[in-house]
Structure 1
């Protein structure tokens, strides 16, 4: 499978470290081989090292060093946040976040549901193994 996520102007990246962890940013310019100028509609434009971001499959059609107005228009028209949330990666992050936000009773309910589900699976498996 060939590599498809290249560093390019308009590539959407997920911040994987620091105070902006989990936020989507767009690469607006490449500074050098280790850093890029990134921007997002809700963030300030700044230089970020590539080690602190993970490239996604999403891209936005913007010119190099696009203004905030142009970037925001392209970001919203391409529905980047919605597409990322609908992807498997976005769903996994949302599930992880919802599990982290559970209270004690919700964790208890999940454990009881898991035990009940495992009991049903074990019962069905034992019946199949006994008949075979």
Structure 2
């Protein structure tokens, strides 16, 4: 069982320093750090750079991210903020596909009816251009193929 012993089943575990995304509650959509684990259902989180005050939160209300900040248990808010800025966690988070998807979802929710109409027309124009170019390439390929077959039939005679 050599390979099974070294196989890592989970890479996102609940631990001090784990960066979490808050999915429910008043701070929904914000990112924070686990500062302490209270029990099997709750943790103490803090997000001084993201506007999340230090508070306890249930594990069902958060999602674990792939990021981890190396901190000590019960680190103070000012020290955590310095580490957050030094490790550029805001930039790392905003570069993830997860954050980009959330941002696009927020933009879509804020769109008016006219904005949705403009997006529809832009998509139609884009599709039209793609289809025109595709048909040109397809016809060029078909004509070059027919020329090749004519040459090969002449060579056989």
1:4 to 1, 7, 11: 11
Which consecutive residues of structure 1, in runs of 5 or more, have no partner in the other structure?
Answer: none
Per-residue deviation at 1:2? 3.8
Question: Deviation per CA, 1:23-78, whole angstroms, max 9, x where unpaired?
Answer: 00100011111111111102221110111000001111211001111111111111
Question: Deviation per CA, 1:84-110, whole angstroms, max 9, x where unpaired?
Answer: 001111111111112222233322111
The corresponding residue for 1:14 is 21
Q: Return the TM-score normalized by structure 1.
A: 0.88
The corresponding residue for 1:59 is 68
CA RMSD of aligned residues (A): 2.0
**1:36 and 1:86 mapped to 2: Cα distance?**
26
Q: Return the TM-score normalized by structure 2.
A: 0.75
Distance 1:72 1:109, change over 3 A: same
**2:52 and 2:99 mapped to 1: Cα distance?**
19
**When the two structures are aligned, how many residues end up with a matched partner?**
132
User: Residues 1-132 of structure 1: matches in 2 within 5 Å?
Assistant: 2-41=9-48, 42-125=51-134, 128=138, 131=142
Contact 2:27–2:52 (8 Å) recurs in 1: no
Distance 1:57 1:126, change over 3 A: same
**2:107 and 2:61 mapped to 1: Cα distance?**
24
Which consecutive residues of structure 2, in runs of 5 or more, have no partner in the other structure?
Answer: 1-7, 146-157
Q: Per residue, is there more helix in 1 or in 2?
A: 2
